[in-house]
Amino acid sequence: MKFNIRALALASAILWGGCVLLVGVANLICAGYGQHFLEMLSSFYPGYHATRSFAEVAVVTFYAIVDGLVGGLVFGWLYNRLARPVA
């Protein structure tokens, strides 16, 4: 069985980007919600500072989408390389 790498990459990008967007918007609505999570993301994503603004939510969501896309591509490629049928 092989993964469809494109589908896996898109699904990963949508899921990770959606999760980060959801926490970011929830933090805008309810101060303090997910603050530690967002601060942790600021240590991974350059240019993101975990302040409560729509622009920062957009930046971290963009980074999360790209991160999910690349992570899904790498995972799918690696899985397909390692899951070759044994003769």
- Residue 61 falls within a domain, yes or no? yes
**Domain housing 49:** 5-82
Phi, psi of 13 (to 5 degrees): -65, -45
Picking from 14, 21, 55, the residue whose alpha carbon sits closest to that of residue 38 is 21
What is the pLDDT, as a whole number, of residue 87? 62
- Residue 25 falls within a domain, yes or no? yes
Picking from 22, 25, 55, 24, the residue whose alpha carbon sits closest to that of residue 38 is 24
Along the chain (87 residues), what's the average pLDDT of each consecutive run of 10 residues? 93 98 96 95 92 94 97 96 80
- Residue 53 falls within a domain, yes or no? yes
- Residue 57 falls within a domain, yes or no? yes
Count of structural domains within the chain: 1
pTM of the model: 0.90
- Residue 10 falls within a domain, yes or no? yes
- Residue 73 falls within a domain, yes or no? yes
